[in-house]
Structure 1
Amino acid sequence: MEDDGSLTFESVSLKNTGKYTYTVFNAEGTQIDAGEKEINVYATAPKPTLTVTIKCKDGNATLTCDIRDRTDLTVSWYKEDNIIQNENNPKLLLTSAQVQENKTYSCSVSNPVSYHQSDSVTVSCPTGEGDPGPPKLFGFDFWIMVSILAGSGALLLLLICVLLFSNQRKKHQKDEREFRLRNLQAPAPTKTDPNTAETSDYK
């Protein structure tokens, strides 16, 4: 307590936070004022660590700003050094469209006496890192292979139909030739002489 009535804190710590009441008297001992003041002591804000969890299969990402369970800190988010408004939350969710932008993100923590910002992190889903990509068949794109196989199947079916039709036609032609050949090789019917027949009967 100073001679002028002011209160000086030495070796300030968090336990000094609280409400303080005061009363002022004049030289005659008469109270001339009274009141209450609240004093808040803040710890220095740490430099936050930004961690990124990307589910490339779903295309979404979760950014976490580590504030070490501090409730006195305000969290702000930045996209390429531009602040994202109304995001006072230690977690930031990004959609697949935002992830595909391959932009840098960072977060900051602050209180009335200090401020720190994290390092920037590029959020993306690189090819081959967690993202299975389109389905594969025999090492090639699934749908391309399905199209090729479907086209090949249709062509194979057409060839089978053509072969069956050709064999059936050949068989029909063969049967027709054999039928004609049998007709040509058949012996002609023998004609009986009526005079001879009558003479034989008479004898």
Structure 2
Amino acid sequence: MTPYHYLIVPGWQGSGEQHWQSYWQHYLPNYQRVEVADWQQPQRQDWVPALDQAIRRCQGPVILIAHSLGCISTAHWAATASASQRQKVKGALLVAPADVERAGCPEALRPFAPIPTAALPFAAQVVGSSNDYAASEARARELAGLWGADVAILPGAGHINVASGHHRWSEGLVWLDQLEQRLDQQRSPWQRMAS
């Protein structure tokens, strides 16, 4: 089977050394990480092209692993990318998507509104939380439905970041594994025989 390339898509302020995305990138083979000009003052016109360039650099099928604002950046990319670029992405794990349209949203994140509502052109798994300040459980479910993604809501997991006690977050790898199994099942019998 052709190995997947894992592309880490951090959220606002990047994912520091203690963040689960940073741990995962040392665990996963064939990984890359999106880099942007400014993690503190995010600009959609910077973040979305940076994601596109990172995907372009990947050789082979890509799985995106996004957190928070990275999930919204992914949705914007999917809504604007070329067909050939979209075909490279086979799936996305979207963890704790940030509702940039919510009341009280930090001003720095508002350039990412409105959130794209079209179905994503690849398989996706949203993982939210029952008490995430950045997106309510209902909003996480709504976004997953709009994007055509599977959804899982973790009880009391906060924003699923360092502040909520999620460092290595090895439990999250279960969702990644399930996504990969779903992708493998979607391959045709001929593709499976050839791998």
Shorter-chain TM-score: which interval?
under 0.3
Taking structure 2 as the reference length, the TM-score comes to 0.19
Bigger RCO (CA 8 Å, 6+ sep) = 2
> Which of the pair is proportionally richer in helix?
2
> Which of the pair is proportionally richer in strand?
1
